[in-house]
Every structure is written in C-alpha cells, then in structure tokens.
Structure 1
Amino acid sequence: MPGYTTENIRNIALLGHSGSGKTTLAEALLHRFGAIEAPGNVSKGTTVSDSSPQEKTLGHSIDSAVASFDSGGYHINIIDTPGFLDFLGRTKSVLPAVETIAVVVNAQVGIEPMTRRVMNYAAERRLCRMIIVNQIDAPGVDLAGLMDHLRDSFGAECLPINLPAPGHGSVVDCFFNPDGESAFSSVAEAHTAIIDQVVEVDEDLMALYLEQGQDLSPDQLHEPFEKALREGHLVPVAFVSATTGAGLDALQQLFVELMPNPLEGNPRPFVKGWDEAAAPFTTVPDPDRHVVAHVFKVTMDPFMGKVATFRIHQGTITPNSQMFIGDGRKPFKAGHLYRPFGKELREMERGIPGDICAVTKVDDIHFDAVLHDSHDEDLIHLKPLEFPEPMYGLAIEPTRRGDEQKLSDALHKLSEEDPCFRVEHNSVTNETVIRGLGELHLRIALERMRDRFNVEVDTRTPRIAYRETITAASEGHYRHKKQTGGAGQFGEVFLRVRPLERGEGFRFVNAVVGGAIPTNLIPAVEKGIRQALETGIIAGYALHDLEVTVYDGKYHPVDSKEVAFVTAGKKAFQEAVKQARPVVLEPMVNIHITTPDSAIGAIAGGLSSKRGRVNSTDTISDGQAVIHGMAPLAELGDYQTELKSVTGGQGSYTMELSHYDPVPFDIQQRLMAEFQPQED
C-alpha cells in the first residue's frame, strides 16, 4: 500500500513560457524535499525533467515529465511541461491529469504569450489556478509592477498569498501567519484582501467574519478557499526563487494545505463517446469502485517499448490488474505498475485514485485512452481537449532507398507520442507530409527520426492544401448509356447543389420519390458524387461545404447497374458544380511572431507583402515583442529563413489554422490552368 491516501495527494502541473524556470523550480522542490540528492542543472542537461538528447542540447523542455516527492505524509506529483508554443500539444495534454495548474512567471520578463494561453486553457478546463512568480532575486526586478500587471491581465482575483521580504531572500506569509515586513506591499493589507476574497463565496462565513473581524482559523477558511479556487474566484500568487530556495517551504505549505486534493477539485465529466452534450458520468475518487483511468502521455522507449502514463480517477490498480481500453472488449494485463520519475520508471505495488502511474508494452494503448476494468460503467471518454491545428508542413521522403517501411514505422510512433504531430499522404501530389506547430516542432521530430529510428529524410515545401467550393446554387443532369453487345449500362440522375456555411462539410440528400431511382441504387449515386468531391472539379482539390440533393432520375430494369449510377451521379455533379460559380479556397493562418522590438516594422511590412496583416502587438520585457497577425499559408513556405534574416536569428513563430478564404482571381486562374483532370 502507498504511504498516503487520496486525500493526501496533490497533482500540480507547472505551465508557463519557455525560460520562466519551470524545470529549475521542479528540480529545487525535488531536492528540497528529499526526492533527489542534488538539484540538476538545465544548461548541463542533468535535470530529472529534461532527459532526452534533444532537450539537453536545446536547454529547454520539449515534452512533459512527471516526478514526485513526499513530505509530511503528503504525496505531491509535479508535471513539468514545455514552454515553447511549438510543443503546446504536449503541454495541453497534461490538463486532465491534475487538479491545479501552477503558471510560472519569470519575474524579470513578466507576462509572455504562453502565460496568457495557459491561464485561459486552465480556466476553460475549470482547473484551479495559481501563479508562481519565479526568480524574485534576479537583478532589476519590479515585483510591485508585475503584481499590478498580473491583476490587470488576469483579474482582481489574483492576490498574493505571500510576499517577498526585503532583499528578496525569503517570503512573508499573507494567509496563515501574516507577520513581517514585505519588500513592496503591506502584509496586513494583503492578508485582508485574500480573506475578503475567500469569504465572499460563503455567506455564513462572511456574516461571521463581519461580526468578529479577521479572527478566522485556517480550518474555517479551508473549504471556502477550495470553493474560491474551483470557481476561479481566487488565483493565489506565490513568490519564489528556484535558484536560492527562497519561498520553497512556503510553496510546499501552500501545495499541501490549500491546493485541492483529488476529492476537492472540480469533477471531470466522462461523456458517452465524443458527444459533449451527452449526459456526463462523473467518476468518484473511491478506491473500492471500478477502475477508471485516463492516458495523458505516450512515449516510445527503446528498452521498455510503449510507455503509457495515466491518471487514476477511480478504483485501485495493482500489478497484473486486468483492464480494458475504451469500449474495446479485449482485456490487457498490466504486468508491472510503475511510478514515473522523469525518464525513470519505479515499481509500484498499488495505485489509488489521484495517483499518476505508467504501464509498458501494451501495443493497443494510445493517447487519450480511458482504461477501466468493467463495461458495466456507462462511460467511454473524457471531455476531449481542443488542440491547435498543425499547419507548418514539410514533404518528406527517405534519403536511402529501401527505408520506406522504417520511415512509416517512425512516423507512426512519433504521431502516437504527440497530439499535434500529423502525418498526411496527399494522393493528388503523391506526397507524404508531416505537419506541426512550427519549424522547431518539426526539426525536433526529424532529429528523433534520425537518432531514435535511424531514418534520414529529404524535405521540401509541400503543396498547399487548397480546397474547392461553390458560391451559388445550380442543377446538374447526366444520362449514362452504354451498350456493349450483351447487357448494357443505363442510369440517369437529376440533382441540385447549393453552398453551405464554411466548415459544414458535405451533405447528401435523397429526395427521389416514386421509385424514379430504386432505393438500392441511391448509394451508388452518392458514391459517384463522393468520388468527384475527392478529386475536385476545377483545380484538382477536394470540394467542401456544399449540399447535393438528388431529386429525380430514370432506370432500366435490366441495364441499370451500380456502375451506371456511379458514373451518372459523378457526371451530373460535375456539371452542376461547373455552373455553381466554383472557387478555390486557401488556408488562412493566425501567425504569432516573437521578435526584437527593432524588427517590428520590417516584419509588419513583410506580412503585408504576403497578403497578410498585423492584428496586434504585445510588448514584453528585454526589448522583445510578439506580433499577432494573419496571412495565407501559401505565402509562408520559407518564412523561417526570412524571419531569421530580418531578426538576426532571434525571431521565431508559430501558426494555427484560422479559416479558408477564396484565393485571388489570378491565383485561381493559374491553379485551374495547371490542373489536368484524368479522363474517366
């Protein structure tokens, strides 16, 4: 049995921008409370979290890492996450595993793009949030100004739970024992502010508070404190220095005494299938009920095989427990149960609700899977996360002939590990395209292919994934008649097409009455239409966002076969589309560019020349800014090279799909001229 109960577990994810000190903070906590003998160093590649060769070379996290420590009967799981926007998928994937998101902010730099994103993601997921201001002892920090900026950016619910002491070598408690002097604010005022905020969620306690003043005990405040966290009514701010250890003891006290345990956080709804509107089934953190666990991370280890890391939400798991994956009926047996500690896996005897565990060598297990030991429970899946659409792409092919299968296996394993790494095969261009969130994202993937799977690839810019659609309603008709000496082919189809709203896809409507086309041949008509949808009509790109209604036709009792109505449906559809003012659509992307202030003008001008625009600019410290803009994906094929030139190698960017827009007339004419439709 573990030496703790579910009530004594704390699951906390460290999120924040790259360089905020998340990994160093995790290392300091592990050392402070005895989990490691000495703290590792990011620059030397000796930390628990950053264990891969790429992380050690880069000096930054590129994957999430779980580690834990025990303190005073409490078990604290810490999940360190990447801070680069390129690895946002790996960061978001940990959200279902924790009750608390601790957003780490660099005291010197302040609020950065990733800070804003993860604060929003945590709020959307109804997770309790706190802010950790790190590096408070760095030279030139303006902690008072930063505190004001946090409240301006994220709301008045951001309140300090401790404050730096003069000299910033320690912190002063503002909640449990508000006694001492702060470097920049009144401790008494901070204490009053946070107590006032907490009692607002409990009418009875507020009445008592107004009667007797501030003489409320921590026990009286605990439940309303948890409620304020769950409702987003309070976001405590803690000050620390991971390098000197200032504030670490206070942070540990905050974790164990005030942050929610698995019984206190907002419940996670498990829904039937993927339908968010379905009546949710909510797990109960009871060790005696059926097992329910959720896989939030999958990695491929050269020695251990597939490693699946999961959070137990209900029930108890032991080595050799038999479990199912989702609605699959084939059970698997967890031969060993592990506790992840960075890249190390430590044997466990038992996992209880709230525990983070791992199993290995289960081929069918996958990211986002729900593990359970009974089909009696009416549940399939957690409410799914929404990941950014990977838009940065490279067409790849193996450098060495004969490596095609090795490349396929490597791509499959990489896509299993990363929810924002996609592999596509474009049948029109016969290209294999990998897509990610940015240049760094794909560069790391290519390095892993080379180092882990011994696969070298050649890369090039892929063709753009244009689309076709229609802008008007029209009708089409085609009679297919073929006589070959024996039984012939006959089929006649009348149909209408009309445009749908962008993003609605394709809709097929059967409005045939009176048996003009027999019911058993209607699927053949739809099959022909779908064939034309895939190959395009005017430029060779798939058609989207339209409705096709088949309303009439003719058939022959002998010669009408499926193949005849496939052809008739396809030809009638092609005729209708050509008269429905078809257009080619191009993907428009939101682009986020981090750059020195001195390059803002050049970047804005460059985007304008690419048919793009700047929407807004956020200024951050140290002469850096983030430009938020929009541009056609087709114009950004070699943007990394251009950005490096403009910024002296200091710029970086990520992008995500925004929507599809019609291409300019001259580009559509060129795409149509290049299209050579195949003859049927």
Structure 2
Amino acid sequence: MPERATSPRVAALVGPYLSGKTSLLESMLMACGVIHRKGRVEDSNTVGDASQEARDRAMTTEINVIEADYLGDAWTFLDCPGSVEFQQDALNALMVADVAVVVCDPDPARVRMAMPLLKFLDQRSIPHMIFINKIETAQVTLRELMEALQGVSDRPLVLREVPIREDGKVTGYVDLVSERAYRYRPGERSDLIQIPDQVRDREKEARQDLLESLADTNDHMLEELLEDVVPPKDEVYDTLTRDLAEDRVVPVFFGGALEDNGVVRLLKALRHETPGVDETLERRLVDTGDSAPLAQVFKTVHAAHTGKMSLARVWRGPVKDSTPIGGEKINGIYTFSTPGQPSKAAQAEAGRVVGLGRLEGVSTGDLLDAKGTREADWPAPLSPLAAVAVRPAKHGDDVKLTGALAKLSEEDRGLKVDQNTETNELLLWGQGDIHLQVALARLARQYNVEVKAEKPLVPYQETIKKPTKKQGRFKRQTGGHGQFGDVHIEIKPLPRGAGFAFHDQITGGVVPRQYIPAVEQGVREWSRQGPLGFPVVDFEVTLYDGSYHTVDSSEQAFKTAAQLAMREGVPACDPVLLEPILKVEISVPNDATSKAQRALSTRRGQILGFDQKEGWDGWDVVYGMLPQSEMHDLIVEIRSATMGVGTFSWAFDHLQELSGREAEQVVDRRKAMLENA
C-alpha cells in the first residue's frame, strides 16, 4: 500500500442530520488517542457539540476544528453541521478540505438527503468518500444501498468492502483490495480471520466490480482484465488514490460508529489515499507558482477573550505570528490540538488549520498573502429563506444590537441583516426557524443582547383607481404673522410600478416659485401613510392653481395645505390595497413536484409551470408567483415534503391589488397597530 506525505491534511466530516456524524467523530478521535472516553449526543458531552446552542438542541450548529495524529500523520478534522439550516458552514469547510467523509444513513429512503452535498462536492471536484453508518440497523442489503446511493451521485461509487453476516447481523467485513477478512470487536481492534465460505462468492463478484470501475480510468488495468490477469494490489491502491484525488470515483465504506466498527478501516483509507495540501492547492487555485506564505479564511468567529479570529487553511507556509498577511499584521496564531481550547503558536506550516488573530479587514473566503487579499473562487452565501423582525428588549440597546448582528452575520454567512425601509423593521434572515433560534440564542449568550423577535410585517402599499381634483387651504392667525397657503391639485392614478410624479402647471405666479417644492414635499410626506394605513404609490399630482398672502405665506403653510388636499382628496379616488408578489422557484425531487405545486396553490399562489432542474437528474424546478404574506413557512412545507433537501429562491416581482375579506383583515390589523403604537 502506498504511503502518503505526512504534512498536515484536512478531512471534513459532513452528512445529513441524524446520520451519526457526531458519533463517528467521537470514535475517530478515540482511535487517534485525542480522547480517552467517548461522549454521547444524548448526554451532551461530545467533542462535536461543544457550544451551548449545540448541546441545547442535540445537534451540531457550527464547525468544530479538532487536530489529531494517526499513526504519525497529522490531521485536522472539520466537524460540520448536518442540518440543512446550517449548511453554509459545511460548504465553507469543504472548500479547504483535502477530502470529505460523507456520512450516510443505511436507509435507501433517506439516501436522497445526501444528494445536495454530493452535488456540491462533484461540482467543485472535491475528493470524497462515503461512510454508511449504523450498518447494524440496515433493513436492506448493501447492494440495495449502493444502488440507492449511486442514484444520487454523479461520480461512480466503488465499494471497498463487503459485509460478513452472522445470524442476520453484520459482524465484520472483507476488504476488497487486500482480500483480508476482519471480525468486529466493539471498542477494540478487529480480529483478522479467514474469509468465511458464505462470503467468498460475493467477495469475488464485488472485487471484480471494483476492478472494472477502476479500469475505466486505467488503460493498463483494463488490458490486464481483458487478458484475465489479476492486477497487483499496489496498482489497485495507486489507481484508487489517483482517482480519489481527481474525484473520478467515490470509495464507499460502512460500519457502526457507536461500537467503533469500521472506524479504523476508514482512518487507514484516509491515511493512505487522501491527497496532500500541495495537490489540493493545485486543484483549488490557478496561481501556484509563488512560494510565499498563503492562507485562506473559511470561517470567522468572535470570541470573548481573543476578539475576531479568522479560521484559515495554510496553503503555503510557514505563516508566522506578528507578520503581515492579508494586508494586516497577525495578532496571534492559534492551533487546535486540544478540543475546544485553542492554544497559541509561533507559526503554522503548510497544510495546517489555524486561527489568525484580529485581522479586522479580512472576511470568510479571502485568500491571504503578505501583499494583501487575493480574489478567490468561493461559494456565494445561501439565499435567505426565513426572517424575524428583531428589536432590543432593553431601551437604549439599539446600537449594541446592530453591532452584535453585524458580528453574527460575519460569523455565519447563512445569516443576513436587513433594515427594511418600507416597514422600518430590522430583519434577521436565515435558513429556517432553528437557524434563527440559534442566532437569537447566541445574541443573548455571546453578546449579552436580549431581543424581541416577531413575525415580519408585510410591506403592503396602496394606490388609487380614479382621479379627482381638490383644494387644500390652510389659514391660521395667531397674532403677528399668521400662516396661509392655498393649493388646487389634481390627483390621478398611474400604471403599476410607475411610482410617483409631481407636475407644476402654475401660471401667473398664483403660487410663488419658492413655495412649489414645499407643495411636492407635503404630498410626498403625506403619501407615507394613506387612508388605508400604508404608503401610497403609483399616482401623480398636478399643482394647477392656488393663492398666497404676501406676509403670512410660507413653505410650511403650503406644505400643510398640500397635505390637507391629499387627506381629503385621496379617499375619493377609490383607494385600493396592494400586496407584494414574489417570483419563486422551488427545487425538489420530481416525486415531490406535485406537493410543491400544491404548496403554491394553497397559499393563493399562481403556478407558472415546471421544468427539469439543469444538471440534477430526477429533480424539477417549479415556477410560480406567491404573495409575500404567504411565504413565511413555505420552507417548512417544502423540506417536510422532501426530507429536507428541497429549497426555493425568491425575488420581488410586482404589486397586485388585494380586495375582499382578506384586504379588510389587513386594513383592520394595520389600524389596530397604528392605534396602539
């Protein structure tokens, strides 16, 4: 078996929620000697669930960085969240990994949950292996599982071992390359045994399948097989190693992390076949001719004691403390040899994952060298799917809240902060309800900011359907100079989306030129809240007559006169409520296409059609229009119908009239809210 370079390598552990990824990490760390007692998710004492938010929800909610040593090789394991709501962290970690281990459930019906991850890995040509966890609970054959997995993988899968079953239970495996058999011993190293007679035929068949898959990329091996020559084991290992590095095939292993079954086999495969940092750098970057230190940030964290820390993979080293990188001076290098306890180091060599202290101008995805930051290929932030309106629970905490939200969204690019000018709300957008709950919990724990979170207001607007003319006359005598302004205006509707227009048709100086801008200002200010309680849009106002007083007229008087004319005139223009309509594209497996269409139709949406999703076999994209008021829990229904893999994108499209009982309810709620404000 070939030996790989011993420079530090990085493996990212990814996989759908509840696939057992956290338990696998515990078992791997136990085998590496990092921990001496395995934790359990239900006891909230695992390495992978170190944060309070992760323990509270018994799920990984952020990247965990853990260094380990296995048989003299240095490793960094990036333990990534499994929930789709925290997928942004997983995608970022994969961008700096030498290899990914995709942990799957042994249920063909749940295999599709891994498809978005596998698609991302193949689109980026990231080497990856599959580990089928909980094999002891499988209700189907491994052959059926492989067929299901192949259905969601663009790359050919190569089974690396076959199970040994006794009394219907998987008790060991036969390695298809070395042709050695092992029996599991829970919590201990597996025993080497003779290949059982009942497994020999299956082993030969599976090994032939493995060799034929590898022969597709190795002409010499193909010739050997055609001539009935058994390829040497070294050639098989070399081909597997090359094909993995080039993302041509996906090796598949199995085991049971809770009992440590198959974990050492996985570690050995990682040790011998994972490419090194130089190969990953060549795959990831075009410019590799330079020899200067180079690092890339894949996660930003704000810690209480260290301040801003940029987690980075060192592509070329050494990166030294107190030296310039990314246009700034490094203020501390932190390593992760002890889980959950970063320790300072003087420098970091190529391949290592480190925390770089207080690089204030550096962001996730940045490629850093001594001259500054370089442009880098990096996945775009995920589109926001759910939102809450937030405001500080304590008076005077507004600045503190906005600062904390800025740091929170810098840490997690799946979050987005938006000040909605139409509703005057501060919105926190995320990937789903749990994602937002975790973010709010972190605001309280990490930044000591308690907030009140509410369902966001829908930015309804209103418009008019017919024209009218109206006089606005404002006169007030208070002793000394009084107030006088008199305007005659015509109010007309405009086509949808035209906005607002103001026209001046004054002749003969009946309204002095210096007061005309005040008339327009008065109209604009009044239109912020029309007779239905919402901003008025798509109308025009023409000032065509008026009068003034040489002493008592002023800009304020004419502005007030214009507002009086609008207040009395617009209710006569048949005002109507407008609701925002979104254009949505829902991506789902095609067996859920009808459910996606139903989700639109039951939310007063309009179905525009559907089409096959480009590059995704067995997936459709459903196109439609959806009232924004019906969007708030759409992602919940889509994920429920697709085991979490369905998603959607959206964009504002147009405003549409809303009438009847629904409009009355909206106006009544608005009136009550304004009265209680």
1:191 aligns with 2:207: yes
Aligned letter for 1:587?
L
Summarize deviations over 1:594-644 as a string: whole Å, max 9, x none.
Answer: 9xx9x999998665320348999xxxxxxxxx9999772624355389979
In structure 2, do the counterparts of structure 1 residues 466 and 318 end up closer, same or farther at CA, with 3 Å as the change threshold? Answer: farther
Contact 2:330–2:356 (8 Å) recurs in 1: no
Q: How many positions carry a matched residue from both structures?
A: 552
**1:483-514 deviation line (CA, Å, top 9, x unaligned):** 99xxx99xxxxxxxxxxxxxxxxxxxxxxxxx
Match of 2:90 in 1: 91
SS in 1 for 2:251: strand
Instruction: State whether structure 2 residue 292 is matched by structure 1 residue 290.
Output: yes
Distance 1:438 1:56 in 2: 19
What is aligned with 2:307? 305
Identify which of 610, 626, 633 aligns with 1:632: 626
Taking the aligned partners of 1:541 and 1:90, their CA distance within structure 2 comes to 42
> Could you say which residue in structure 1 is the equivalent of 2:418?
424
Once the two structures are TM-superposed, the CA of residue 80 in structure 1 deviates from its matched residue by: 1.2
> Is 200-209 or 19-28 further displaced after alignment?
200-209
Secondary structure of 1:154's match? coil
2:279 match: 264
CA distance in 2, matches of 1:349, 1:165: 49
Cα displacement string for residues 311-335 of structure 1 (whole angstroms, at most 9, x for unaligned residues)? 0112311333x1232xx4xx21343
Shift of 1:44: 1.1
Q: 1:436 & 1:542 partners in 2: Cα distance?
A: 30
Deviations 1:545-569 (A, max 9, x none): xxxxxxxxxxxxxxxxxxxxxxxxx
Q: 1:333 aligns with which of 330, 333, 337?
A: 330
Check whether the contact 2:319–2:347 (CA below 8 A) recurs between aligned residues: yes
Quote the offset at 1:6 in angstroms: 5.7
| Alpha-carbon distance in 2 for matches of 1:121, 1:445 | 25
**Greater Cα offset, 183-192 or 388-397:** 183-192
AA aligned opposite 2:219: E
Distance 1:242 1:380 in 2: 40
**Aligned 8 A contact 2:605 2:627 in 1:** no
Q: Is the 8 A contact 2:416 2:430 kept in 1?
A: yes
- Separation in structure 1 between the aligned mates of residue 131 and residue 177 of structure 2, nearest angstrom: 16
Tell me the residue number matched to 1:358: 355
Shifted more, 209-218 versus 66-75: the winner is 209-218
Q: 1:108 to 1:641 in 2, by over 3 A?
A: closer
| AA partner of residue 98 (structure 2) | E
TM-fit CA distance, 1:482: 12
2: CA distance, partners of 1:254 / 1:467: 61
Q: Which letter does structure 2 place at the counterpart of 1:224?
A: T
Q: Does structure 2 conserve the Cα–Cα contact (< 8 Å) formed by 1:28 and 1:242?
A: yes
Change (3 A) 1:45 1:435: same
1:314 paired to 2:320: no
Question: Could you say which residue in structure 1 is the equivalent of 2:175?
Answer: 173
2:582 to 584, 587, 602: 587
1:127-169, Cα deviation, whole Å (9 max, x unpaired)? 1122110011126454332122112332571121112222323
1:12-43 CA distances to partner (integer Å, 9 max, x unpaired)?
A: 11111100011110110000121111111111
Q: Which residue number in structure 1 is paired with residue 17 of structure 2?
A: 18
Structure 1 pair 292–183 and aligned structure 2 pair: CA distance change class (3 A): same
Letter matched to residue 318 of structure 1: K
Tell me which moved more, 92-101 or 199-208.
199-208
In the TM superposition, what whole-angstrom CA distance separates every residue of 1:395-435 from its partner, at most 9, and x where no partner exists? 11112111112211211111111001011112232211110
Which residue number in structure 2 is paired with residue 611 of structure 1?
A: 604
Q: What's the CA shift for 1:49?
A: 1.5
The letter of the residue matching 1:586 is I
**Residue pair 2:157, 2:249 contacting (<8 A) in 1 also:** yes
Aligned to 1:249: 264
Q: Which residue of 2 aligns with 1:497?
A: none
Cα distance in structure 2, aligned partners of 1:40 and 1:629 = 46
Residue aligned with 2:350, SS: coil
CA change 1:233–1:652 in 2 (3 A) is closer
1:386 CA displacement: 2.6
Alignment of 1:15-94 (within 5 A): 15-94=14-93
CA contact (8 A) 2:20 2:133 kept: yes
**Could you say which residue in structure 2 is the equivalent of 1:457?**
451
Q: Which runs of 5+ in 2 are unaligned?
A: 182-194, 463-493, 515-523, 529-533, 539-577, 611-619, 671-677
Structure 1 contact 283–292 (Cα < 8 Å) conserved: no
RMSD: 4.7
The match for 1:213 among 207, 221, 229 is: 229
Could you say if the C-alpha distance between residues 588 and 163 of structure 1 is closer, same or farther in structure 2, counting changes exceeding 3 Å? farther
Residues 242/670 of structure 1: CA separation in 2 closer, same or farther (3 Å cut): same
- Partners in 1 of 2:633 and 2:391 — Cα distance? 22
Amino acid at match of 1:442: L
Q: What pairs with 1:445-484 in structure 2 (closer than 5 Å)?
A: 445-464=439-458
Q: Which moved more, 1:255-264 or 1:208-217?
A: 208-217
Task: From the superposition, tell whether residues 123 and 482 of structure 1 become closer, same or farther in structure 2 (CA, over 3 Å).
Answer: farther
- Where 2:55 maps in the other structure, the secondary structure is helix
The question of whether the paired residues in 2 share the 8 Å contact of 1:319 and 1:335 is answered with: yes
Say whether the 8 Å CA contact 1:12–1:101 is kept in structure 2: yes
The aligned counterpart of 1:344 is 341
TM-score, reference length from structure 2? 0.70
Question: How far does residue 244 in structure 1 lie from its aligned partner after superposition?
Answer: 1.0
- Aligned equivalent of 2:518: none
CA distance in 1: counterparts of 2:645 and 2:217, whole angstroms: 42
- Relative to structure 1, is the Cα distance of residues 466 and 215 closer, same or farther in structure 2, using a 3 angstrom cutoff? farther
Q: d(CA) in 2 for partners of 1:47 and 1:445?
A: 21
| 2:65–2:339 CA contact under 8 A, matched in 1 | yes
Matched AA of 1:31: M
Q: Provide the secondary structure at the position in 1 that maps to 2:49.
A: coil
Partner Cα separation in structure 2 for residue 651 and residue 225 of structure 1: 32
SS in 1 for 2:222: helix
Residue 258 of structure 1 deviates from its aligned partner by 1.7
> Does the 8 Å CA contact 2:108/2:144 hold for their aligned counterparts?
no
Structure 1 residue 409 and structure 2 residue 409: aligned?
A: no
Give me the whole-angstrom Cα distance separating, in 2, the residues matched to 1:467 and 1:9: 58
Instruction: Show the counterpart of 1:103.
Output: 102
SS of residue in 2 equivalent to 1:97: coil
Which one has the largest radius of gyration? Answer: 2
Partner SS state of residue 94, structure 1: helix
Verify the 8 A CA contact 2:244 2:273 in the aligned structure 1.
no
The separation in 1 between residues aligned to 2:432 and 2:155, in whole angstroms, is 34
Q: Counterparts of 1:361-440 in structure 2 under 5 Å?
A: 361-374=358-371, 380-440=374-434
Decide whether aligned partners of structure 1 residues 318 and 667 sit closer, same or farther in structure 2, where only a CA change above 3 A counts: farther
1:452 CA displacement: 2.1
Rounded to whole Å, the distance in 2 between the matches of 1:414 and 1:456 is: 14
Q: How far apart are the structure 1 equivalents of 2:630 and 2:603?
A: 8
Cα distance per residue 1:263-321 (max 9 Å; x no partner): 33473455xxxxxxxxxx4336x8xx21111111112222222222110112311333x
Are the counterparts in 1 of residues 10 and 76 from structure 2 also a CA contact under 8 Å?
yes
**Does the CA contact (< 8 Å) of 1:640 and 1:652 recur in 2?**
no
Letter of the 1:251 counterpart: L
What amino acid is aligned across from residue 413 of structure 1 in structure 2?
A: K
Shift in Å at residue 231 of structure 1? Answer: 4.3
Distance verdict in 2 for CA 1:396–1:480, change over 3 Å: farther
